[in-house]
Structures are given as structure tokens and as C-alpha cells.
Amino acid sequence: MQPEKVNTVLAKIFQEIEEKKSKEGSILETWEKVAGKGIARHSRPISLQGGTLIINVDRSAWLYELNLCRPLLMRRLKKELSHWTDLRELRFRIGSV
């Protein structure tokens, strides 16, 4: 097995970074459509980690409500983002929106 050239390795790394940025950007754009404007004002997807979408919410009441709506939101997200198979879970937490 021959070592890879540095420019080949860097090209692969940059491609992976761009793909991840594209995914996260699409999720942000899709969130308001999927969740609705009311929910989107109080929540924001912040990262996608190993198939888990982390979503900040601004208050504990919204955390409670969104946890109840998790199955519905997950179905809607999967429908809108059907070209991704790695979205497996939603995790809500208190944080800045």
C-alpha cells in the first residue's frame, strides 16, 4: 500500500467539511418549515453529531413540549431530508437560540 499524497488527503478532508456544512445548512433551512414558525422562534438546530440532531430551545416549557412532539418532528424531518439516511435521533436542550 502506497502512502497518499498530501493534496489528495487534504482534498478529501475539505470535501467532508463541505458536505457537513451543506447538511447543517439544509437542516437550518428546513427546521422552520418542519417545526413551524412558532416553534422555530424558540428553538434552533445547532449541530448534527453521529446521526443525532442537537436542537437548542430557549425555555424549559419548550423543552417539554418538543420532547412530546419528537416523533412527529422526526418524521417530518426525515421526509424533508429523505436523501440523508444518517439522521436517527433528535435531542433537545436548553441553550441560546
Query: Phi and psi (nearest 5°) for 65?
Result: -60, -45
CB atoms within 10 A of CB 5: 9
Section 40-53 average pLDDT: 91
Is 84 or 46 the better-scoring residue by pLDDT? 46
Q: What is the dihedral of CA 60, 62, 68, 72, to 10 degrees?
A: -150
Q: Is the dihedral of CA 41, 30, 91, 64 positive or negative?
A: positive
What is the per-residue pLDDT for 41?
95
Tell me the C-alpha to C-alpha distance, in Å, between residue 93 and each of 12, 51, 74: 33, 16, 16
Section 26-53 average pLDDT: 89
